[in-house]
Structure 1
Amino acid sequence: MNRRLVVYLLRRLGQGAIIIAGILVLNFVLLSLAPGDAAEVMAGEAGGADPAYLERLRAQFGLDVPAPQRFLNYVLKLASFDLGHSPRYGISTTELILGRLPPTLLLMGASLTIAIALGIVLGVAAARRPGSVTDEAISLFSLLLYATPLFWVGLMLMLFFSVHLGWLPTGGMQDLVNNPRGFAWAIDRLRHLVLPSVTLSLFFLAIYTRLVRASVIEVYTQDYVKLARAKGVSERRVAYGHVLRNALMPLVTMVGVQVGALMGGSILVESVFAWPGLGRLAFEAVASRDQNLLLSILLVSSIFVVICNLVVDLLYLRLDPRIELR
């Protein structure tokens, strides 16, 4: 690793730390302005409570101090790598997030893989013959995917493949009845992953298909592509060997930008398919006014997005050696 790369990484990490700190402050302010708290929700679920009991709950959860003091307490805990305690679940917030993070990463990874792979294939296929029947069909298909709400797609896929055909489970992450082991366990996880990952990937597949198509058409006009064709290089090799590498730059940029949107979409998909991930946990934290848990989830999500954008910038160096570190 050369010195310029080390300096670049340190500078980017410093910028990322400032961004994360700003996001943390903004999230805390917005959550503090929201009405209600965990004590009121828990008292309401118990059928009501007198003011004295509410005050005891607020004191127990640390909600009886002013907002600036709560924020300072939270930051001091962060300095010791402690995300605090969840009033709703009665356990460590760190334990909750670490337990829900792997399913979300699995869902996001599978969805991104499907969206990127199919987006590249469909985009290149459409761009090789602009205006053809194939191009028109792929463009119409991507437009329909882009315009269709994710929750409706998820419900329709569940209705067809789970209820009507009985091929795939309706929700969850594993079979809790049979509790399979070994290779059967992996197959069971894969069957549960199919519907939510496909649902989450379709919206991004539409965007990536259109983006790759436009980028490939633009690269086809470059002189080096015309030279390769003049030398008699096959169209397939021109498309995938010469054009695609340079056409991937906008796609890489878009993937980095949309990581946050992907995590936001996972909240809806995880709720529809009862997927035990971080998105569903965030939804439950909002419903229960668990400010500490929600603040920690948003913090972890912000760190993940910053890291993903750094990885995207490093991929630029791999895809295009002409890019210099600044």
Structure 2
Amino acid sequence: MPVTTEPVVELTGDEATGRSRAIGTARFVLTKIAGGLVSLFLVVVLGFFLFRALPGNPIRALTGDSQTSLEQIERLKAEWSLDQPLLTQFFDYLGDLLHGDLGTSFKYKQPVSDLIATRLGPTLLLTGTALILSVALGLWLGTRAAWRHGGRFDRWSTSSALVLWSVPTFWLGLIMLMVFSVGLDLFPTAGMNTPGGVEGFGPAVLDVAHHLVLPAVTLTAVVYAQYLMVMRSSLLEEMNADYLTTARAKGLTDDQVRRRHAVPNALLPTITIIFLHTGLLVAGAVTVETVFTWPGLGLLTYVAIGFPDYPLLQGSMIVLASAVVVMNVLADIAYRFFDPRVRRT
């Protein structure tokens, strides 16, 4: 009886290399995701214990009366599970967190997840606007500064950017308020909408945009310098490359050489910075939102610190830390895909 054997499929060199790279990429992505999850777990652990070291007594803040009896205080502690040992509270919190329950706010008496959901939109609007403006401004100015290295525009743009970068965000926000809101009366001093609201979709959108100008410009002014300096540095490294000399020898104009060849290659490090800073921008909106009373997650966190509202602080910290961790992971993955030199390692 004849014996049948399966044909042996041999991979060519290119196929073997491609499979090896795919396995390496998958392993790299999984490693980064696992590292991000570990970072988030450490944030949860540290946040839980550090927030309880904050000055202030949430029970006193809940009662608002120094004459509250001990019986009432004990009853409130039992209601909010603050009478349990700290480790017991921690493990109970972890169990709730695994089921998607962030707890109930001491101050607002509402689920933390609902509070965060209502405040996340304004924060994303503010930080998204600031990110688009800062990236566009930083890349444009960085490209022009590098292409005219040593000139007046280069000196002016880099000096201005470094000065704004070093200015404390809250101080710049207060200056903007005093000059453009109080002094010139051009923009509102606080909030996201005019009290009482405006009628119609178009006027409502313009009203929000009017309130958005100062906080978005403040955040943009502090952030764009990073993109400018990275883009400028990257483009300066590319300017003396041989492929640019070849492109000029083919008859391309200086503008074509810059747009088609130099800038795309110089964008690689900047892409990484954009991903990295997006998460930090969301987490760093606390100061700007507090100064301009912008009703986002940053202002909610600031109010929770003053209470102190442990569940709300923990939930806000998880969301803000998640933004930073996710963007860090995406930055590593994106750089591996965008830069072929990294994929070969």
- Which residue is equivalent to 2:3? none
Q: Is residue 189 from structure 1 mapped to residue 208 from structure 2 by the alignment?
A: yes
Letter in 2 for 1:22: L
- Which residue is equivalent to 1:75? 94
Secondary structure, counterpart of 1:289 in structure 2:
coil
| Alpha-carbon separation, structure 1, partners of 2:76 and 2:175 | 43
Give 1:102's match in structure 2, choosing from 121, 124, 128.
Answer: 121
Q: Is residue 84 from structure 1 mapped to residue 67 from structure 2 by the alignment?
A: no
Letter in 2 for 1:185: A
- Which residue is equivalent to 1:55? 74
How far 1:49 moved relative to its partner? 2.2
| Alpha-carbon separation, structure 1, partners of 2:300 and 2:115 | 9
Give 1:14's match in structure 2, choosing from 10, 34, 41.
Answer: 34
Identity of aligned residues (%): 35
How far 1:6 moved relative to its partner? 5.3
| Alpha-carbon separation, structure 2, partners of 1:249 and 1:123 | 14
Distance 1:268-1:200 versus aligned 2 partners, 3 A rule: same
**Is the 1:32–1:67 contact (alpha carbons within 8 Å) kept by the matching residues of 2?**
no
With 21-30 and 82-91 compared, the bigger mean Cα shift is at: 21-30
How far 1:134 moved relative to its partner? 0.8
| Alpha-carbon separation, structure 1, partners of 2:260 and 2:190 | 41
Q: Is residue 294 from structure 1 mapped to residue 294 from structure 2 by the alignment?
A: no
- Which residue is equivalent to 2:286? 267
**Is the 2:102–2:112 contact (alpha carbons within 8 Å) kept by the matching residues of 1?**
yes
How far 1:316 moved relative to its partner? 2.3
How far 1:93 moved relative to its partner? 0.6
**Is the 2:60–2:66 contact (alpha carbons within 8 Å) kept by the matching residues of 1?**
no
Give 1:30's match in structure 2, choosing from 50, 75, 78.
Answer: 50
Letter in 2 for 1:114: L
Give 1:171's match in structure 2, choosing from 186, 190, 196.
Answer: 190
Distance 1:33-1:177 versus aligned 2 partners, 3 A rule: closer
Letter in 1 for 2:46: L
C-alpha RMSD of matched pairs (Å): 2.1
Q: What is the correspondence of 1:169-318 to structure 2 with a 5 Å cutoff?
A: 169-317=188-336
With 192-201 and 232-241 compared, the bigger mean Cα shift is at: 232-241
- Which residue is equivalent to 1:41? 61
- Which residue is equivalent to 2:7? none
Letter in 2 for 1:208: Y
TM-score for the superposition, normalised by structure 2: 0.87
How far 1:60 moved relative to its partner? 1.2
Letter in 1 for 2:204: W
**Is the 1:37–1:290 contact (alpha carbons within 8 Å) kept by the matching residues of 2?**
no
Number of aligned residues: 324
Q: Deviations over 1:119-169 (max 9, x none)?
A: 001111110111111111112211221222222221222233323333322
| Alpha-carbon separation, structure 1, partners of 2:254 and 2:321 | 43
How far 1:179 moved relative to its partner? 2.6
Secondary structure, counterpart of 1:136 in structure 2:
helix
How far 1:296 moved relative to its partner? 1.0
Secondary structure, counterpart of 1:84 in structure 2:
coil
How far 1:264 moved relative to its partner? 4.0
| Alpha-carbon separation, structure 2, partners of 1:57 and 1:315 | 49
TM-score for the superposition, normalised by structure 1: 0.92
Secondary structure, counterpart of 1:323 in structure 2:
helix
Distance 1:260-1:51 versus aligned 2 partners, 3 A rule: farther
How far 1:198 moved relative to its partner? 0.9
Letter in 2 for 1:28: F
| Alpha-carbon separation, structure 2, partners of 1:30 and 1:119 | 37
With 87-96 and 308-317 compared, the bigger mean Cα shift is at: 308-317
Q: Flag structure 2 segments of 5+ consecutive residues without an equivalent.
A: 1-18
**Is the 1:270–1:276 contact (alpha carbons within 8 Å) kept by the matching residues of 2?**
yes
How far 1:48 moved relative to its partner? 4.1
| Alpha-carbon separation, structure 2, partners of 1:169 and 1:36 | 33
